Amino acid sequence: ARVTKAAAASGCRCIFGYGSLMWKVGFPYEHHFPCSIEGPFARRFWMRSADHRGTSEFPGRVATLVQLPDEDDNGEGGVSRIPGVAYVVPVSELGAVLASLDYRERHGYTRDVCTVIARDGSRSEAFCYYYARPQLSDSDDVLQGSAMVWGESLEQTAAVIAKACGPSGSNLEYLQQAVACVRSLGARDEYLDSLLALSEQLADTGDRKDNGDVGSSQWQDR
């Protein structure tokens, strides 16, 4: 990951998790707490997954934190709050944990220092990994070589999630786990709720079509 100057100089020990890190933590921590991250971000299932929740022939979609532009005419952008989990890492393990996460998120991510808000309203700093929005100067080659599917519609994402499956399991199972984790925090994410409802509907439709209940033309790969 690209590390900002603020992150490089920060002494914070907190790491914000918004995807699988909410339920599958691969590093030691002293304690964790539910919180929301505040900033110009949105959680979107715009990251292709060809090694866990999909294949190279049919990549799935997993969660990523994307940087939003300033609010536009459609109301997108601005500052929002994304519910997740913050983990406080022991000082003795912090360097190794960050090095591991920086490597894991090496394909286009940025590590920065952000503000997280706990349930009691207290605010603290945490490291977060997000995907910066494309710049006007980015070439088509850069964008085409990215694992991101910028601006993919809810319907397009759901159609992929309903069908994709990889070594770590089905893509729908991943989405269901993400929604369950957010709800267990006493929070809701409108985007996740809508995506889950549509994905489950399409998966159910696909199952019935596979069983011969209805025609299959609508479920051909695109």
* Residues recognised as catalytic: 105
d(CA 63, CA 61): 7
Q: Name the H helices within the chain.
A: 5-9, 91-104, 140-144, 154-161, 171-184, 190-210
d(CA 217, CA 221): 9
Q: Left (φ > 0), alpha (ψ -120 to 50) or beta: where does 216 sit? A: alpha
H or E element: which one contains 116? strand 109-118
Q: Three-state SS across 134-178?
A: CCCCCCHHHHHCCCECCCCCHHHHHHHHCCCEECCEEHHHHHHHH
Residues 62, 131: contact at Cβ < 8 Å?
A: no
Instruction: Show the tokens assigned to 61.
Output: 């979609």
d(CA 119, CA 35): 6
